[in-house]
Amino acid sequence: MATRSNDNLLSCLHNLHEKTESLTRQLAEPDITSNQEVYRDLSKELSRIKPLDNLYLELRKITREYAEAEEMADSEDDPELAELASNELASLEERIASISVQVRRLLVRDTATDHRNVYLEIRAGAGGDEASLFAADLLRMYHRVAERRNWKAGVISTTYSTIGGIKEVILHIRGEDAYGQLKFESGVHRVQRVPSTESSGRIHTSTATVAVLPEVRDVEVSINPADIRIDTYRASGHGGQHVNKTESAVRITHFPSGIVVTCQDESSQHKNRDKALAVLKSRLYEEEMHRQEADIASNRRSQVGSGERSEKIRTYNFPQSRATDHRISGRNFNLETILDGNLEDLLASLAEDHQERVLEQRFRELSLPCSTES
């Protein structure tokens, strides 16, 4: 029967349906409606899982129709009715398959963070000055991505190289589904090209690392003031030239993790401090997420998320005018198009490839203990 895997999916989603009904009841309680913060959080949670619940209800309805049609198709008393029922079965199977695909896509989305704004960090890696120039190219690329999607991108902090490249930069990108779209960009990016300073025409290979961190709220990450040290210093720009003569730049050191965050692009020390703290919280949140992912990944052959960050994910080959994402076998993309911020096809391919590998993990996160095999 074509609905065997569908029956399993219904069983998996039953707990989610009960969670939806529970949240709906809570939102109607006077104690909840009078607490705006709790009401807002519960409403957001309900809005994130409601699309899945709607699909579950539709899938359950069609499954019942399928069972009825299957019974009529097996009838020997009315051949004409049996033939009509058989035709109906084919139509219902198509609808079930379509809904099942939609359900799986929604389950793969990280509903807790995909909708969030992000901090995107770019750091020059191996390759010296050429690596810093490549990091600047990536910065322009992500600015173009933001422009194409009507997101807002603002620089939090920048450290320049002596030739005008970038040693390190932090972007704050705000927009719908920003983290959901950009999370696949985390990892090592490699460039192969002839540097402008290379007189012999020899191709060099350089790297830059990209980290994409979801923005977090204060309630999600708590920082003990005793665990950090805040230093101030004079901000500097290209070639070490002073941007101002006051100590507006801020450096925050988090002792337990060893994380250091700097921010100097604002003229106000207070604003730099607030932005640096926000970045620190996002990094601490990401570390905790990685620890949880590592526990899951240790029990699976194919690692997801943090296991890919230490690996080369993409190569930008200038002599051949192509960009190759090494997580998608057999796919190359036009280099000029990619560097102009047109990542739609590439990110869609990554999302599709990522889908099946994390589906089982998402079932567990939603407390849906079942097999995802079809």
pLDDT at 229 over 70: yes
pLDDT-based confidence at residue 2 (cuts at 50, 70, 90): very low
pLDDT at 278: 87
Better-scored residue on pLDDT, 247 or 225: 225
pLDDT-based confidence at residue 372 (cuts at 50, 70, 90): very low
What is the distance between the alpha carbons of residues 10 and 34, in angstroms, rounded to a whole number?
A: 35
pLDDT at 196 over 50: yes
Please answer whether residues 191 and 320 qualify as being in contact, where contact means their C-beta atoms are separated by less than 8 angstroms: no
pLDDT at 361 over 70: no
What is the distance between the alpha carbons of residues 40 and 141, in angstroms, rounded to a whole number?
A: 35
- Residue 336 identity: E
Q: Which residue has the tokens 């805040």?
A: 230
Q: In the Cβ-directed half-sphere of 98, how many Cα atoms lie within 13 Å?
A: 8
Alpha carbon 306 to its chain's center: 12
Comparing 20-34, 145-159, 198-212, 280-294, the range with the smallest average pLDDT is 280-294
pLDDT at 166 over 90: yes
Residue-averaged pLDDT of the chain? 81
DSSP letters of 132-200? HHHHHHHHHHHHHHHHHTT-EEEEEEEEE-TTS-EEEEEEEEESTTHHHHHGGG-EEEEEEE--TT-SS
- Kindly state the average pLDDT of the residues 329-341: 91
- In terms of DSSP H, where are the helices of the chain? 4-27, 30-33, 36-73, 79-108, 129-148, 178-182, 269-297, 306-309, 335-339, 344-365
Q: In the Cβ-directed half-sphere of 333, how many Cα atoms lie within 13 Å?
A: 26
- Kindly state the average pLDDT of the residues 279-301: 66
Please answer whether residues 263 and 324 qualify as being in contact, where contact means their C-beta atoms are separated by less than 8 angstroms: no
Which of 109-113, 135-139, 251-255, 348-352 has maximum average pLDDT? 135-139
pLDDT at 190: 94
Q: b/e per residue, 196-221, with b = 16+ CB within 10 A? A: eeeeeeeebebbbbbbbbbbbeeeeb
Indicate the SS3 state at residue 211. Answer: strand
Give the residue among 130, 117, 127, 191 at the shortest CA–CA distance from 156. Answer: 117
Indicate the SS3 state at residue 324. Answer: strand
Whole-number percent of the chain with pLDDT over 90: 28
- Kindly state the average pLDDT of the residues 109-122: 79
Q: Report the alpha-carbon angle 193-119-237, nearest 5.
A: 65
pLDDT at 35 over 50: yes
pTM of the model: 0.58
pLDDT at 44 over 90: no
Please answer whether residues 169 and 122 qualify as being in contact, where contact means their C-beta atoms are separated by less than 8 angstroms: yes
Comparing 2-16, 169-183, 276-290, 319-333, the range with the smallest average pLDDT is 2-16
pLDDT at 283: 87
pLDDT at 101: 74
What is the distance between the alpha carbons of residues 39 and 141, in angstroms, rounded to a whole number?
A: 39
What is the distance between the alpha carbons of residues 215 and 154, in angstroms, rounded to a whole number?
A: 14
